[in-house]
């Protein structure tokens, strides 16, 4: 209790007319009026300074603290005093400042007052939201408003009063009380700002409701008499001695809209009953009044009875838990006198009830009854069919003196919308101060503090009677509040959250080792076990571990952690504003003191887990698995470990996250934020604590902030290593050891730039920075890599830039998903593409390096390989050439070709070039051409021939001539010796090429024939020619679909030859058709002579058919041509043109002789009779040519004596035949020569 200063008593002893006392609890001040003087003092100060106001002459009746209307007074005036005297009501300005932990006030004269002669004003009320002031007195039942404004206006001064209940003309009429009835007057007046309502309580217990309209008018909407009120509650509770219309209502208290929607006002009777009323706009209580919706009716909805008259309940009792619970509503007809008589009562959110009653017959001391809702019991889930009982706990306090006033010293803080419902005291017990109420008596100020559940649990442990009694109380606590709430409370006590009032009336934390140890024991031993949902496991749709319900211990940890973080969880981290100069300012949205408190509590929780990890089931590690008996228990324990481990990780991340925020705001946050890009800046300004602590988005934003912090320190010239190490130590999650290495590398890079790229120191620093970057290449993000590479380019450290980009690319995809994606043909919508895209970003940086080094080389004025630029270019390209990163080389070669640098690709001597081109050669002709050229330039002629052969056979859209060209080149390359390729392989390749080349030539002939063939109609011509001028066709298709139907006999013969077709009849028929066709076509055209055309056709086919015995059968063709000459060209051309043709084709004379000899001897049609001489003439001619040839060579005549004898016999026979005379003579002469040769 804070005692009243002696100065007050000194002034009190000088009182002559009247005295009164009151509280300004929100300012920690009390006041006393002594006659015409007002004195204020800070009752919390050990040696308070008395502030007095004695400048007015009239006795003071009432003093009220009010909030001023905005814009009327200076900003320093935060409150005003409304003072009523016997003559007037005036306003005083009040400024309040915090000095040294205490509040000091200053009073200012305002010059605002209104006369009230004839009114005994002792009731004043004000609106905190609008600053409106209302007053009333004991002389009548009217309600007045004190209006005030900053400046005077026409017909209206700065201050005036308005009567809202009596019309202006009736105010001056004489009042007659013919029945000598007591005048009804206003005893209490309260304002409900949440609904814009003003309630008044009269001396007759009538309640009136006024609607405060936005336009400033006040309308009386409801008058509720005591009889109506008691009539409403008749169906709730039976009328009795202590509850009937004759019982006076002594107090009314508004219930704000956020606290309750159904109940609007609480009225307390002189016997301590609480009647809850609703003021609604209809017959339903759900229509809540607002600024534009005035209530039209008021109904009593509920009654709370005083505590029972049982003697055991008239004083504080030892209960299982602090506070005696009682139910306050019932149908009993028994009168309850426990709070009779009640002199006054007050209700404070969220339902604290203070009732002053006089149990002392001398009336020198008041007894205070306090009841509060038990939010812990209300929060326990219940069966919906079970009605909720208004659980309350109550205590009695004997004040020892008479109560004068009561006020909120520290109001209950709901904590914003993050806690569900209203009055959830458990949710805010760790982050908001407990509610405190000040009670002023004639001896001092009592401060009554709301005990938190955690404080009650700590007190329960401290005040227990032995181990057994304590165990029983814990079980009772669990039964009342539930196991999870008990575990959360025990954990809070074990982490040092319990508080108590010290002997010097100060709050202090409970650090008693016995209390902390028992709380730890309760947390560990009473935490329960996880359970598995057997029904969910049965159908197998959900993994067993996901069906486990965590233990109450897990729920308790989550509950305690959430309460620590509740106030900041959904709050943005930073708020943006403007400086007086118009610049941008960034400030923390949550005070750093609050963040430090939360961090301290979370650190204590983390330390508790670290200390007791081995005792907590679910955190003790693999050893706990050895204690399980069934598979279900093992799965449940695994799920419990997963849940608890996640909570512990969240706590650790949150601690470091708060440290990071504190580091950010330790310095000028505006400078750091300015270094972020616009997108990152907007993301940070929208970032909440939840996102920072528990999402990847927050983590990425924090990484960008860390980079900005370090970059700012680099710009300032600070030691980056020191800054980075400090960040890592305080918030390692956001600044890892890898980040520290990156920052060191950045600093070295900056120093290298300052030293100069051409200096030895600069080059060493560049190499050191590269080594550091490569150490963390696996986790080096692009926003670090890109500026580093750009700085390397600026410093002409080209080889280092390429090495760094290659290292980052390779380490970002160690499984080589990108290469497998390329090998599989780069399928769309494939998750491996993401790995490739990530690596491609690194390769794009390398291309920038290549362009930079090439551009620098072009500008180099020094010729020769030893210039500085040339050496650095060679170093850069050496890194590229020696790279084994196939993904990079593939991308590089693509880049070369896209820029038209195919020659550069062909100059590279690397096995990956061939691999790249081989893979690409299946995609387009361009890469395939490059492949065989690369092979040819590398002296790999065999491989070049293979590629060219594949191109000739490929499905690419190539003309037939192009394919023939590839085959011709392949034949040439296949014939060249290639190292590491055997002769047999080359021969097989040559054979395949030759065969395909022959086919392609035949197809080309057929194509030309089809082009010139008029029989092909225009509609089909384009299609046929396109088909024939495309891929090399199968010879069977060529024959069956084009050559044979088109009667292209020469082509048919070639196809038969290539197909090794050995049907002599088919071949003979085709030759006959060919000769006949050539003859007829020649006759049709007129030139040349038919025999000449036949000679030319046979000659050309002989070459194409390679004088094949099958396709070019001399034994068949010679008689066929002899017959043609006899039948069609008997008198045309040289008589020996048939023999000359075959001799020209280098057919052996012996073969021709044998055929002609057979024709001569057989005497067949048409070579019989006179026509026989045609064969004889040819024989004589052939023998002559044959003899001359063998004689010229110097060998035996006709090659051997046997043949010579045979020829001699034939010559003799020819002489005897009827041949031409010159032929006979020639035979005779030849025979003479032959005989001479025998000698």
pLDDT at residue 732 is higher than 50? yes
Across 573-587, 622-636, 1139-1153, least confident range: 622-636
Structure tokens given for 626: 């050895």
Can you list the positions of beta strands (E) in 1088-1158?
none
User: Does the pTM of the predicted model rise above 0.85?
Assistant: no
- Which pLDDT tens digit goes with each residue over 1062-1080? 999 999 999 999 999 999 8
**Local confidence band at 286 (pLDDT 50, 70, 90 cut-offs):** very low
8 A C-beta contact, residue 296 and residue 452: no
Q: Residue 405 has what pLDDT?
A: 95
Structure tokens given for 1034: 């199968």
Please compute the mean of the pLDDT values over residues 357-372 and round it to a whole number: 87
Conformation bin of residue 114: beta by default, left when phi > 0, alpha when psi is -120 to 50? beta
Structure tokens given for 120: 């005994």
State percent of the chain over pLDDT 70: 93
Q: Residue 441 has what pLDDT?
A: 94
**Local confidence band at 246 (pLDDT 50, 70, 90 cut-offs):** very high
Please compute the mean of the pLDDT values over residues 1136-1159 and round it to a whole number: 91
pLDDT at residue 312 is higher than 50? no
**Local confidence band at 250 (pLDDT 50, 70, 90 cut-offs):** very high
pLDDT at residue 990 is higher than 70? yes
pLDDT at residue 1022 is higher than 60? yes
**Local confidence band at 324 (pLDDT 50, 70, 90 cut-offs):** very low
1034-1043, long-range: CB within 8 Å, 24+ apart, which pairs?
Answer: 1035/999, 1035/1002, 1035/1059, 1038/999, 1038/1002, 1038/1003, 1038/1006, 1042/1006, 1042/1010, 1043/1006
Q: Residue 703 has what pLDDT?
A: 83
pLDDT at residue 588 is higher than 90? yes
Across 505-509, 676-680, 1044-1048, least confident range: 505-509
Across 229-238, 535-544, 1046-1055, 1225-1234, least confident range: 535-544
Structure tokens given for 847: 């291309």
Would you give the distance in Å from CA 140 to the centre of its chain?
69
403-410 vs 144-148, strand pairing mode? unpaired
**Token match 């020619």: residue?**
1025
Q: Residue 707 has what pLDDT?
A: 82
Q: Residue 1207 has what pLDDT?
A: 86
Burial of 800 (0-12, 13-18, 19+ CB in 10 A): buried
pLDDT higher at 913 or 420? 913
Among residues 277, 89, 90, 304, the alpha carbon closest in space to that of 201 is found at 277
8 A C-beta contact, residue 1107 and residue 1088: no
249-254 vs 265-269, strand pairing mode? antiparallel
pLDDT at residue 1038 is higher than 50? yes
pLDDT at residue 330 is higher than 60? no
Looking at the DSSP bridge assignments, the partners of residue 7 are: none
8 A C-beta contact, residue 27 and residue 106: no
Structure tokens given for 1192: 């010229």
DSSP type of residue 153: B
Q: Residue 979 has what pLDDT?
A: 77
**Local confidence band at 302 (pLDDT 50, 70, 90 cut-offs):** very high
Looking at the DSSP bridge assignments, the partners of residue 189 are: 200
Among residues 383, 308, 377, 360, the alpha carbon closest in space to that of 338 is found at 308
Structure tokens given for 1216: 């005897």
Structure tokens given for 970: 């392949």
Q: Report how far residue 870's alpha carbon sits from residue 850's, in angstroms, rounded to the nearest whole number.
A: 13
Q: Report how far residue 826's alpha carbon sits from residue 305's, in angstroms, rounded to the nearest whole number.
A: 80
**Local confidence band at 804 (pLDDT 50, 70, 90 cut-offs):** very high
Residues 6+ apart with CB under 8 A from 353: 274, 345, 346, 347, 369, 370, 371, 372
pLDDT higher at 414 or 481? 481
Q: Residue 318 has what pLDDT?
A: 36
Please compute the mean of the pLDDT values over residues 840-869 and round it to a whole number: 83
Q: Report how far residue 1052's alpha carbon sits from residue 11's, in angstroms, rounded to the nearest whole number.
A: 141
Q: What is the 3-state secondary structure (H, E, C) of 551-588?
A: CHHHHHHHHHHHHHHCCCCCCECEEEEECCCCCEEEEE
Q: Report how far residue 1011's alpha carbon sits from residue 1022's, in angstroms, rounded to the nearest whole number.
A: 10
Q: Residue 699 has what pLDDT?
A: 86
**Token match 């089809």: residue?**
1010
**Local confidence band at 328 (pLDDT 50, 70, 90 cut-offs):** low
pLDDT at residue 383 is higher than 60? no
pLDDT higher at 227 or 505? 227
Domain positions in the chain: 1-167, 195-306, 451-527, 737-899
Q: Report how far residue 89's alpha carbon sits from residue 267's, in angstroms, rounded to the nearest whole number.
A: 28
DSSP type of residue 975: T
Burial of 1237 (0-12, 13-18, 19+ CB in 10 A): middle
User: What's the number of CA atoms in the CB half-sphere (13 Å) around residue 614?
Assistant: 1
- Which pLDDT tens digit goes with each residue over 1096-1144? 999 999 998 989 999 999 999 999 998 998 888 777 888 899 999 999 9
- Which pLDDT tens digit goes with each residue over 433-469? 899 999 999 999 999 999 999 999 999 888 877 777 7
Q: Report how far residue 837's alpha carbon sits from residue 835's, in angstroms, rounded to the nearest whole number.
A: 6
**Local confidence band at 172 (pLDDT 50, 70, 90 cut-offs):** very low
Structure tokens given for 294: 């005035």
Q: Is 156 helix (H, G, I), strand (E, B) or coil?
A: strand
Across 162-171, 470-479, 875-884, least confident range: 162-171
Q: Report how far residue 489's alpha carbon sits from residue 462's, in angstroms, rounded to the nearest whole number.
A: 15
8 A C-beta contact, residue 1051 and residue 1101: no
Please compute the mean of the pLDDT values over residues 657-678 and round it to a whole number: 88
**Local confidence band at 1000 (pLDDT 50, 70, 90 cut-offs):** very high
> Is the omega angle on the peptide bond into residue 304 within 30 degrees of 0, that is, cis?
no
**Local confidence band at 949 (pLDDT 50, 70, 90 cut-offs):** very high
29-34 vs 444-449, strand pairing mode? unpaired
Structure tokens given for 853: 């080094």
Q: Is 661 helix (H, G, I), strand (E, B) or coil?
A: helix
pLDDT at residue 420 is higher than 90? no
**Local confidence band at 904 (pLDDT 50, 70, 90 cut-offs):** confident
pLDDT at residue 1197 is higher than 90? no
Please compute the mean of the pLDDT values over residues 686-697 and round it to a whole number: 91
Can you list the positions of beta strands (E) in 1034-1162?
none
Structure tokens given for 216: 């400033």
Q: Which CATH number does 737-899 carry? A: 1.25.40.450
Looking at the DSSP bridge assignments, the partners of residue 156 are: 153
Q: Report how far residue 773's alpha carbon sits from residue 776's, in angstroms, rounded to the nearest whole number.
A: 5
Q: Report how far residue 595's alpha carbon sits from residue 601's, in angstroms, rounded to the nearest whole number.
A: 10
Q: What Rg, from alpha-carbon coordinates, does the chain have? A: 57
Q: Residue 866 has what pLDDT?
A: 62
Q: Residue 395 has what pLDDT?
A: 93
**Token match 């804070």: residue?**
2
> Is the omega angle on the peptide bond into residue 644 within 30 degrees of 0, that is, cis?
no
Looking at the DSSP bridge assignments, the partners of residue 302 are: 276
Q: Residue 157 has what pLDDT?
A: 73
88-99 vs 102-115, strand pairing mode? antiparallel
8 A C-beta contact, residue 672 and residue 681: no
State percent of the chain over pLDDT 90: 49
Residues 6+ apart with CB under 8 A from 458: 493, 498, 499, 500, 510, 515, 519
Residues 6+ apart with CB under 8 A from 411: 26, 348, 349, 435
pLDDT at residue 285 is higher than 90? no
pLDDT at residue 632 is higher than 50? yes
Q: Residue 968 has what pLDDT?
A: 93
Q: Report how far residue 522's alpha carbon sits from residue 528's, in angstroms, rounded to the nearest whole number.
A: 11
Q: Residue 798 has what pLDDT?
A: 93
pLDDT at residue 327 is higher than 60? no
Please give the mean pLDDT across all residues of the chain. 87
Residues 6+ apart with CB under 8 A from 366: 343, 356, 357, 358, 360, 399, 401, 402, 403, 441
Neighbours of 465 (CB within 10 A): 10
């Amino acid at each position: 209790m804070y005692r009243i200063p002696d100065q007050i008593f000194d002034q009190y002893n000088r009182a002559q007319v009247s005295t009164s006392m009151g509280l300004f609890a929100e300012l920690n001040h009390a006041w006393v009026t002594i006659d015409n003087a007002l004195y204020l003092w800070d009752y919390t100060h050990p040696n308070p300074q008395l502030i007095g106001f004695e400048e007015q002459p009239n006795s003071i009746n009432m003093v009220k603290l009010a909030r001023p209307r905005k814009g009327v007074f200076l900003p320093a005036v935060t409150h005003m005093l409304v003072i009523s005297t016997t003559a007037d009501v005036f306003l005083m300005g009040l400024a309040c400042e915090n000095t040294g932990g205490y509040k000091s006030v200053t009073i200012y004269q305002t010059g605002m007052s209104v006369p009230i002669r004839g009114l005994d004003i002792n009731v004043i009320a004000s609106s905190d939201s609008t600053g409106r002031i209302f007053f009333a007195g004991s002389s009548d039942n009217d309600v007045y408003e004190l209006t005030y404004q900053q400046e005077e206006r026409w017909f209206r001064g700065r201050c005036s009063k308005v009567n809202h209940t009596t019309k202006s003309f009736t105010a001056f009429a004489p009042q007659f009380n013919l029945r000598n009835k007591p005048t009804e007057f206003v005893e209490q007046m309260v304002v409900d700002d949440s609904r814009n309502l003003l309630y008044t309580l009269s001396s007759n217990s009538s309640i009136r409701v006024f609607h405060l309209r936005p336009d400033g008018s006040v309308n009386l909407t409801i008058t509720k008499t005591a009889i109506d009120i008691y009539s409403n509650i008749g169906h709730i509770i039976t009328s009795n001695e202590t509850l009937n219309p004759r019982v006076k209502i002594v107090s009314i208290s508004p219930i704000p809209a956020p606290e309750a929607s159904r109940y609007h006002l609480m009225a307390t009777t002189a016997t301590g009953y609480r009647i809850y009323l609703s003021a609604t706009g209809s017959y339903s209580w759900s229509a809540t009044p607002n600024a534009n919706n005035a209530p039209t009716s008021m109904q009593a909805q509920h009654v709370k009875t005083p505590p029972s008259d049982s003697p055991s309940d008239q004083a504080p009792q030892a209960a299982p838990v602090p506070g005696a619970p009682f139910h306050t509503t019932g149908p009993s007809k028994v009168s309850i006198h426990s709070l009779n008589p009640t002199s006054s009562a007050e209700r404070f959110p969220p339902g604290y009830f203070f009732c002053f009653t006089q149990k002392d017959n001398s009336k020198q001391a008041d007894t205070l009854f306090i009841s509060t809702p038990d939010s812990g019991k209300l929060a326990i889930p219940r069966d919906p069919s079970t009605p909720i009982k208004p659980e309350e706990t109550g205590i009695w306090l004997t004040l020892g003196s008479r109560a004068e006033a009561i006020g909120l010293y520290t109001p209950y803080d709901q904590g914003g919308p993050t806690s569900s419902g209203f009055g959830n005291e458990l949710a805010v017990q760790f982050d908001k101060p407990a509610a405190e109420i000040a009670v002023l008596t004639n001896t001092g100020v009592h401060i009554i503090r709301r005990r938190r559940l955690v404080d009650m649990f700590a007190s329960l442990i401290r005040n227990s009677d032995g181990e057994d009694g304590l165990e029983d109380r814990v079980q009772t606590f669990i039964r009342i509040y539930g196991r999870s709430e008990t575990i959360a409370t025990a954990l809070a006590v074990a982490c040092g959250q319990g508080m108590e009032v010290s002997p010097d009336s100060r709050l202090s934390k409970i650090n008693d080792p016995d209390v902390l140890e028992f709380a730890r024991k309760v947390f560990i031993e009473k935490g329960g076990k996880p359970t598995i949902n057997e029904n969910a496991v049965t159908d197998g749709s959900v993994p067993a571990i996901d069906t486990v319900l965590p233990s109450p211990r897990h729920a308790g940890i989550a509950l305690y952690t959430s309460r620590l973080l509740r106030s900041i969880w959904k709050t943005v981290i930073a708020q943006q504003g403007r400086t007086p100069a118009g610049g941008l300012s960034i400030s923390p949205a949550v005070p750093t003191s609050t963040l430090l408190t939360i961090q301290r509590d979370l650190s204590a929780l983390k330390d508790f887990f670290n200390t007791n990890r081995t005792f907590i089931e679910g955190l003790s590690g693999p050893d706990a698995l050895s204690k399980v008996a069934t598979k279900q228990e093992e799965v449940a324990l695994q799920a419990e470990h997963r849940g608890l481990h996640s909570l512990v990780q969240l706590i650790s991340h949150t601690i470091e996250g708060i440290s990071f925020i504190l580091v950010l705001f330790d310095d000028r946050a505006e400078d750091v934020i300015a270094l972020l890009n616009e997108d990152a800046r907007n993301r940070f300004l929208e970032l909440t604590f939840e996102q920072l602590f528990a999402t990847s988005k927050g983590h990425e934003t924090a990484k960008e902030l860390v980079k900005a912090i370090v970059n700012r320190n680099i710009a300032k010239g600070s030691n980056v290593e020191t800054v980075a190490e400090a960040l890592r130590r305080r918030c390692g999650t956001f600044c890892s050891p890898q980040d520290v290495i990156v920052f060191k590398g950045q600093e070295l890079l900056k120093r290298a730039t300052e030293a100069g790229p051409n200096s030895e120191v600069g080059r060493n620093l560049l190499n050191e920075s590269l080594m550091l970057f490569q150490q963390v290449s696996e986790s080096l993000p692009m926003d670090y890599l890109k500026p580093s590479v750009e700085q390397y380019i600026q410093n002409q450290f080209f080889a280092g830039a390429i090495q760094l980009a290659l290292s980052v690319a390779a380490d970002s995809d160690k499984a080589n998903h990108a290469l497998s994606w390329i090998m599989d043909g780069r399928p769309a919508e494939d998750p491996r593409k993401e790995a490739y895209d990530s690596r491609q970003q690194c390769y794009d940086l390398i291309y920038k390096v290549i362009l930079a080094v090439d551009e620098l080389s072009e500008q180099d004025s020094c010729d020769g390989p030893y210039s500085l630029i040339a050496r650095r270019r060679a170093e850069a390209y050496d890194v590229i050439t020696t790279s084994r990163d196939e993904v990079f080389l593939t991308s590089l070669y693509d880049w070369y070709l896209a820029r038209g640098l195919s020659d550069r690709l062909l100059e590279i001597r690397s096995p990956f070039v061939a691999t790249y081109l081989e893979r690409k050669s299946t995609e387009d002709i361009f890469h395939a051409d490059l492949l065989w050229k690369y092979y040819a330039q590398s002296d790999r002629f065999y491989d070049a021939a293979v590629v060219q052969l594949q191109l000739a056979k490929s499905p690419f859209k190539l003309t037939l001539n192009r394919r023939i060209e590839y085959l011709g080149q392949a034949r040439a390359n296949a014939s060249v010796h290639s190292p590491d390729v055997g002769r047999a392989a080359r021969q097989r390749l040559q054979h395949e090429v030759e065969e395909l080349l022959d086919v392609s030539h035949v197809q080309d002939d057929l194509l030309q024939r089809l082009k010139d063939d008029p029989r092909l109609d225009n509609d089909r011509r384009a299609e046929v020619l396109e088909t024939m001028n495309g891929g090399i066709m199968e010879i069977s298709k060529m024959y069956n679909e084009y050559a044979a139907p088109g009667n292209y006999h020469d082509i048919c013969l070639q196809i038969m030859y290539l197909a090794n077709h050995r049907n002599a009849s088919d071949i003979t028929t085709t030759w006959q058709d060919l000769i006949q066709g050539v003859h007829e076509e020649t006759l049709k055209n007129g030139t040349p002579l038919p025999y000449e055309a036949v000679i030319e056709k046979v000659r050309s086919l002989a070459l194409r058919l390679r004088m094949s015995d099958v396709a070019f059968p001399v034994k068949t063709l010679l008689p066929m041509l002899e017959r043609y000459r006899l039948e069609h060209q008997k008198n045309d051309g040289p008589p020996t043109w048939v023999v000359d043709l075959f001799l020209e084709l280098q057919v052996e004379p012996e073969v021709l002789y044998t055929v002609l000899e057979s024709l001569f001897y057989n005497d067949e049609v048409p070579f019989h009779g006179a026509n026989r001489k045609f064969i004889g003439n040819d024989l004589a001619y052939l023998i002559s040519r044959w003899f001359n040839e063998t004689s010229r060579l110097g060998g035996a005549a006709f090659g051997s004596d046997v043949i010579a004898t045979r020829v001699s016999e034939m010559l003799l026979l020819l002489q005897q035949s009827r041949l031409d005379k010159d032929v006979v003579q020639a035979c005779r002469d030849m025979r003479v020569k032959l005989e001479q040769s025998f000698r």
